[in-house]
Amino acid sequence: MRNRDSELAIDLYRGIAALLVLLAHALTYALKAVHGADSTTSPFIDRLARASLGSGTFWGWGFFVLSGFCIHQSIARDQQRQTFSIPRYALGRITRIYPLMLIGLALAALVWWLTGGAASPGETFPVGKLIATLFFAQQFVGDFPGYDPAWSLCN
């Protein structure tokens, strides 16, 4: 039971880190929209929030470290039982990550379309970036607008 308690604690920490990343990104976007990119002109409470949460980088790295540990534990368990297979592992990762990535990409595309998303007049829908993101290749052409955090999925 103790091992299961440790796994639950690690999952809790991962969840908290993921929520803090989400909160930090949302706060960063919201404060930039209100006060611009220069945080020195924003009120003290906004600067305190930015300093406390940062851009989410710290929490993101924490999430990645804990996730790497969980992946290692899972593979080690399967190897111990002699049930590990790379195709099964890859299928498990894809079915866990890809559907949520598609939902996020669809929402980003919808927001782009609803808001007119173009940074400059006459800008067309970024089909190339959309296709690259579908294949986790956005590091070659850039992130789909508004879906910048997806960079981590292709890595």
Summarised one tens digit per residue, pLDDT across range 53-107 is: 777 888 888 999 999 998 899 899 999 999 999 999 999 988 988 999 999 999 9
Q: Which secondary-structure segment (H or E) carries 107?
A: helix 86-115
Choose the weakest-confidence range: 20-24, 40-44, 117-121.
Answer: 117-121
Please give the mean pLDDT across all residues of the chain: 84
* pLDDT of res. 13: 94
Burial class (CB in 10 A: 0-12, 13-18, 19+), 1: exposed
With vertex at residue 150, the alpha carbon angle to CA 110 and CA 92, rounded to the nearest 5 degrees, is 105
Element of type H or E holding 81: none
User: What pLDDT is attached to residue 1?
Assistant: 44
